Structure 1
Amino acid sequence: MRRVEHVMGFPVSLRIDDEGDFDAVADAVFAWLREVDVRFSPFKPDSEVSRYGRGELAGGELSADLTEVLALCADLRGATGGAFDIRLPGRGLDPCAVVKGWSVQRAADLLTAAGARRYCLNAGGDVVVSGGPWRVGIRHPEEADQVCAVLAVTDAAVATSGGYERGDHILDGRTGRPATGLLSLTVVAPTLTEADATATAAFALGAEGPAWAAARTGCEVFAVDTTRHVLRTPGLPVT
């Protein structure tokens, strides 16, 4: 099975290589991601995130899902000394850096629960795979048609943060200014929840980010700094 839909502002592609009928779970995957977009988008004024950010919802009124996401964000803020922060001056509440990986991992869990054993779910370049190995390329941060490395990934997730697609959108919460020191940072982790959040938080940390990410349990790192120097951990599954 192969299916592609545009959800949450980016293309999401699903490939399942198992025999069998997975139409129903594929429908459920994309329905869940559309639900996440409605409930968690800071760009939709009626979303739960927007309403909470404006003070229209108290903590006790939040869904279990948003409570979980906010807890993950709080943990990252503490772990980075405030470099990762979803509440920045002049901006509304924006937990997107955690919501994307968390929600796509939840979608992958639906696939696994339905019996899929070999699949690839790619959400705007962040990937979670089952089975394998799958070959996942790391895009060159300055040459859009080139890759820096190709990974062989089995039962894991890959996420990259950088400014080459959306400009200086990742801010250092300690200064309120765009993060500096890195061109891109990729994390391989057991789940996309961990990989995506760690990649964004590490990029916000700047030059100290690769070492911080590498110290997190289960994470392997590939980073390119602003001097074009490549930093990578020994366990990175490069082909």
Structure 2
Amino acid sequence: MGMPVSIHLRGARGDVESPDARTAVAQAFSHLSRVDDVFSTWRVDSELMRSSRGDLDAADAHPWLAEVSGLCALAHLRTGGLFSPYHAGAYDPTGLVKGWAVEGAARHLAHVPRISFCINAGGDLVAGFGPGHDPSPWTIGIEDPRHTGRVAATVELTCGGLATSGTAARGAHLRDPRDGAPISRPGSATVWGPSLLWADVWATALFVDPAVATQTLEGEHPAYRHLVL
């Protein structure tokens, strides 16, 4: 997916280095690799790109394509149009795929007894734990978007996801779906709650229009917290 991904485990040494843990980590990375096979926009042979060209019939496509398409439509609806998988008229669901993919990878780790885990995918995170583990929270630093390397705030996350959207790392790569205008202002929006997929969607929506998205998020999805910098 064009980004660094790391997996961190906590627990007794015998548990984090157990065959079950090693297998689960390998399965998590394998899951992400398979997602890349299906959804990469950088590879002409990915199923997404073949489908976009009309070279892959829907009946032969991986079911993930239809699942993600449905989730993108739901995200567009829930955010009042502040999240969209369309860019300059072209379908690109990768803004949702990352959170969805990392959550899928995390499910492999959630079966390992007596560990807690955190997956970091380009600064977006999923935390959780396996059976029989009494976890302590992961302390996550939120970088000040105007001062590289400076921590503006910290968040404790035991189980769930955290995502940040903004221009500090990748420049003006986001557009307002309502008019197609690029968003070049400084700052960031961070969201954390039960699901990384939806934290990521709402972080994007909040950066596009903080005022409108804040009202919707706080009114309809109170399980999610946010910080706009």
TM-score computed with the length of structure 2 as normaliser: 0.86
What is the total number of aligned residue pairs between the two structures?
Answer: 216
CA contact (8 A) 1:186 1:223 kept: yes
How far 1:204 moved relative to its partner? 2.6
Partner of residue 191, structure 1: 195
What pairs with 1:1-239 in structure 2 (closer than 5 Å)?
Answer: 8-19=1-12, 20=15, 21=18, 22-89=21-88, 92-115=90-113, 117-130=115-128, 131-179=135-183, 183-217=187-221, 218-224=223-229
Counterpart code for 1:221: H
Q: Secondary structure at the match of 1:38?
A: helix
**Structure 2 stretches lacking a partner, 5+ long:** 129-134
Partner of residue 132, structure 2: none
CA contact (8 A) 1:180 1:206 kept: no
CA contact (8 A) 2:138 2:158 kept: yes
CA contact (8 A) 2:193 2:225 kept: yes
CA contact (8 A) 1:161 1:186 kept: yes
Q: Secondary structure at the match of 1:188?
A: strand
Q: Secondary structure at the match of 1:222?
A: strand
Which whole-Å CA distance do the structure 2 matches of 1:150 and 1:206 have between them? 20
Higher strand residue share: 1
CA contact (8 A) 1:156 1:190 kept: yes
Q: Secondary structure at the match of 2:87?
A: coil
Partner of residue 131, structure 2: none
How far 1:143 moved relative to its partner? 0.5
CA contact (8 A) 2:146 2:186 kept: no
Which whole-Å CA distance do the structure 2 matches of 1:216 and 1:57 have between them? 38
Identity of aligned residues (%): 36
Counterpart code for 1:18: G
Higher helix residue share: 2
TM-score computed with the length of structure 1 as normaliser: 0.83
CA contact (8 A) 1:187 1:198 kept: yes
The CA deviation string for residues 109-152 of structure 1, in whole angstroms up to 9 with x for no partner, is 11002336411111111111123311001110111111110111
Q: Mean Cα displacement is larger for which, 141-150 or 78-87?
A: 78-87
CA contact (8 A) 1:50 1:93 kept: no
Q: Mean Cα displacement is larger for which, 159-168 or 16-25?
A: 16-25
**Structure 1 stretches lacking a partner, 5+ long:** 1-7, 225-239
The CA deviation string for residues 24-55 of structure 1, in whole angstroms up to 9 with x for no partner, is 11111111111111211122111111122223
Which whole-Å CA distance do the structure 2 matches of 1:40 and 1:210 have between them? 30
Decide whether aligned partners of structure 1 residues 208 and 120 sit closer, same or farther in structure 2, where only a CA change above 3 A counts: same
